[in-house]
Structure 1
Amino acid sequence: MSGYLDIVRPAYGENSLADLMPSVSAVLGVPGAEDVLALGATLGDVDRVAVLLIDGLGVYQKEAVARLAPIVAELDARTLTSGFPSTTPVSLATLGTGRPPGQHGILGFTVRKPGGGVLNHIHWGKDPDPALWQPMPTRFETAVAAGVPATQVTQPSFQGSGLTVACYRGASFVGAADPGALAEGMLTALKGPGIVYGYFADLDHHGHGTGVGSPDWEAAATTVGTLLDRLVNGLPPRAALLVTADHGQLNTPAEGRLDLSLDAELSAGLIGVAGEPRVRYLYTEAGAVDDVLSTYREKLGSSALVLGRDQAIEEGLYGQVADAHRSRIGDVVVACLDHTVVLASACEPASAGRLVAYHGSLTAVEMTVPLLSFVRPSN
């Protein structure tokens, strides 16, 4: 695990999740798409590509998963970065649009809405309108417009959700309630040319609930192996399977947990709190930004990178940020380092403070994700 707490910044336009679907699109002949990742050299003459996102399968989890799912070690592998924050809704939108977060506007697990109140991107219906909140065309829309079919295969309950519409609009929806149905749905869609996207959540779910390396997490890792075996063995000719993730995860001990809601100094000057425990967005009273920055830097020291909004944007954490999206980012951004989280018990469900593993920040264990590949050549 050497270097797992090193800071890793997103490699937009070079080697990030934002570059995956444009590269897949280019391989499949979508006009205007650029093969940034040079996938054409690896995939060859394919006419159908499956992209499976395994939630929580960071590079630093890959070895442990491979011990329980040997096929993971058998696939060709390289490393990408997620976007920032390294959290599920941000990464799903980054992958689905092929754009950095600053362009698609899904900039955190939760963000403050312009009129006040907090939007949780996971529990998002029709307000705000997903097509307005995330205005960029998805890579599925551009593929379909070019005559390349696109299909998404995921949990039935996700159909029509705000996040699904924001990230995957344009792709035909196929519900899959379990790993077997996920594999079947993806392989059925691969009977014809096009792009097929699948999503598997269990590894992340059990990492949060019982910890990376727990028995439940290991059972989910075994299921990953079963799923990949089924997909690899079922791929038709001229098909490729790409496997990636949205982020890694980091187990966090009790002594690394700080609750801003229970600390008068950390609560001073705030009118809103969003983000999540590893990346806090702090929205401040007028004129309070400098005081909040100073307080958090003093209190957290080397256990967090504390930036003003403008500095976070200037350092390229989000890519180029559209003017309409800037206010979604906190006036102050607290990116936890080490094994630290900043809880906000007065603003979030109690369950947020009971998780075992977290993610969202800039450490290597959170930011680096694998890109695994397997190609079934033409007969």
Structure 2
Amino acid sequence: MPLSLPADPPTARSLTGVVPDMLAALSGRSPSLKPARSAVLMVVDGLGRLNLSARAGHARFLSGRMTKKDHARTVFPSTTATALTSLLTGTDAGEHGIVGYRVRIPGTHDAPNQLKGWETHGLDPLTWQRALPLLEREALDGRPVFVVSRPGYAGTGFTRAIQRGAQFVGADSLDDRVETAAALTGSHDNALVYLYTPELDATGHAHGWESDAWSDRLEAVDAAARRLEQLMPADVGALLTADHGMVDVPRHRQVLLGEGDALVEDVEIVAGEPRMLHLYTAADASGAVRDRWERAEGQRSWVLTRGEAIEAGLFGTSVAPEVAERIGDVLVAARAGIAYYDDREADKKAQNMVGQHGSLTDQERLVPLIRLGAFAPEA
């Protein structure tokens, strides 16, 4: 392979270990978190550690609380569906099966969106996502478990796939979600509360993380985190983390795949997402497709066959056979500031996105892991 893949440091913390560590802290057994009576996991979709550091002046509270050790690495691909599933099951994609944003249902030509395709393509939340959700496990053991999120997410296939077992509490605004999460920890002992905010990610996709709009939204997140700590009882701990970071890709950096392009020759489905493509090829064509992509794009993207990706451990140390069938025959993960689009698709709205993620770069994979409340380090 001409380009070696980036390797995680041996001591790197994985997003898969965050919830188990919090649960250990509730029984006083965590190696890294102080004991707490209850805990809040605040997930800020799209808040990469490097993005946060670059805009520290717009997040003085969080930046002031973030030490050099306060970070983790999200999973691959660095996309919401995969990362949130890994966070809330404690497993990598090779085990839970959510291997990207859009992936093919084996034996078909359908490649549904893994956030919304549960409804449109009949994906079964109890079987397509293969791992036991940690929230369900804890609820069955008698722990009070809550999800505080936007009301529209209640009862969706993705919510059922990764958050079943928890009591869902909907709140429209971030301020209301913060107040609700804090109140739940005040009224329930030994509770775990998952608090989700998608607003920063949406702003980043629409305007880019380097935009004024993103900085304004970050200030609101910073204020919300401060307020959460103020409202929580003193014996409650909180962790703030994210599913992925973000890279801005302006229009002139988009790579458009058009009719007759050699890069789509023998490719039956272009799926995944713009910075991490799953290419599903015609029978026995994966080697030729990989070679064409390597020659054309190898200087600015990592190009691997399915087997190479599995052998490299990108989807975890173990990949179940039925999960392997969902992975593209060829994977293309951008390392430069580019994004790939299938320009043959009729709906081109996705090409309006500025902020992107999904690949292996530190900007996409490093996320903050900031300790608040009872979890905060000694001053």
| Deviation of 1:116 (Å) | 2.3
Matches within 5 A, 1:36-75: 38-39=31-32, 42-43=33-34, 45-75=35-65
Matched AA of 2:290: L
Find the aligned partners of 1:277 and 1:17 in 2 and give their Cα distance.
Answer: 23
TM-score by length of 2: 0.91
Matched residue, 2:184: 189
Residue 168 in structure 1 maps to residue 158 in structure 2: no
Residue 334 in structure 1 maps to residue 327 in structure 2: no
Matched AA of 2:279: L
- Which region of structure 1 is more displaced relative to structure 2, 262-271 or 283-292? 262-271
1:191-212 Cα distance to aligned partner (Å, 9 max, x none):
1121000111111111111111
Residue 112 in structure 1 maps to residue 104 in structure 2: yes
Unmatched 5+ stretches in structure 2: none
Shift of the 157–248 alpha-carbon distance from structure 1 to 2, 3 Å rule, reads same
Find the aligned partners of 2:142 and 2:154 in 1 and give their Cα distance.
Answer: 23
Matched AA of 1:16: S
Matched residue, 1:273: 270
Q: How many residues align?
A: 364
Find the aligned partners of 1:10 and 1:160 in 2 and give their Cα distance.
Answer: 36
Matched residue, 1:3: none
Shift of the 359–348 alpha-carbon distance from structure 1 to 2, 3 Å rule, reads farther
Find the aligned partners of 2:177 and 2:65 in 1 and give their Cα distance.
Answer: 20
Residue 18 in structure 1 maps to residue 24 in structure 2: no
Matched AA of 2:115: I
Pick one of 67, 89, 100 that aligns with 2:81: 89
Matched residue, 1:216: 213
| Deviation of 1:11 (Å) | 7.2
| Deviation of 1:245 (Å) | 0.4
| Deviation of 1:175 (Å) | 0.5
Unmatched 5+ stretches in structure 1: 1-5
| Deviation of 1:186 (Å) | 0.7
SS in structure 1 opposite 2:117? Answer: coil
Matched residue, 2:248: 251
Matched AA of 2:247: L
1:245-301 Cα distance to aligned partner (Å, 9 max, x none):
011101113332111234520111011121000000000101111110011011112
Matches within 5 A, 1:293-308: 293-308=290-305
Shift of the 134–355 alpha-carbon distance from structure 1 to 2, 3 Å rule, reads same
Shift of the 12–159 alpha-carbon distance from structure 1 to 2, 3 Å rule, reads farther
Matched residue, 1:204: 201
Percent identical pairs in the alignment equals 32
Shift of the 324–29 alpha-carbon distance from structure 1 to 2, 3 Å rule, reads farther
SS in structure 2 opposite 1:281? Answer: strand
Runs of 4+ that moved beyond 3 A: 6-14
1:303-353 Cα distance to aligned partner (Å, 9 max, x none):
010000011011011101111111111000000111111111334741221
Find the aligned partners of 1:54 and 1:12 in 2 and give their Cα distance.
Answer: 26
| Deviation of 1:108 (Å) | 0.3
Matched AA of 2:134: R
Asked if structure 2 preserves the Cα contact closer than 8 Å seen for 1:65 and 1:72, the reply is no
Find the aligned partners of 2:66 and 2:216 in 1 and give their Cα distance.
Answer: 24
Find the aligned partners of 1:73 and 1:140 in 2 and give their Cα distance.
Answer: 29
Asked if structure 1 preserves the Cα contact closer than 8 Å seen for 2:78 and 2:244, the reply is yes
Shift of the 248–263 alpha-carbon distance from structure 1 to 2, 3 Å rule, reads farther
Residue 141 in structure 1 maps to residue 139 in structure 2: no
Asked if structure 2 preserves the Cα contact closer than 8 Å seen for 1:46 and 1:239, the reply is yes
Matched residue, 2:235: 238
Asked if structure 2 preserves the Cα contact closer than 8 Å seen for 1:86 and 1:361, the reply is yes
Asked if structure 2 preserves the Cα contact closer than 8 Å seen for 1:76 and 1:374, the reply is no
1:164-203 Cα distance to aligned partner (Å, 9 max, x none):
1111111110101111111122112111121000111111
Asked if structure 2 preserves the Cα contact closer than 8 Å seen for 1:273 and 1:347, the reply is no
Residue 368 in structure 1 maps to residue 369 in structure 2: no
Matched AA of 1:323: P
- Which region of structure 1 is more displaced relative to structure 2, 226-235 or 63-72? 63-72
Matched AA of 1:361: S
Find the aligned partners of 2:258 and 2:128 in 1 and give their Cα distance.
Answer: 29
SS in structure 2 opposite 1:130? Answer: coil
TM-score by length of 1: 0.91
Matched residue, 1:102: 94
Find the aligned partners of 2:359 and 2:236 in 1 and give their Cα distance.
Answer: 35
| Deviation of 1:80 (Å) | 0.6
Matched AA of 1:292: V
Find the aligned partners of 1:256 and 1:291 in 2 and give their Cα distance.
Answer: 26
Matched AA of 1:335: A
SS in structure 2 opposite 1:112? Answer: coil
Matched residue, 1:286: 283
Residue 318 in structure 1 maps to residue 315 in structure 2: yes
Matched AA of 1:135: R
| Deviation of 1:54 (Å) | 0.4
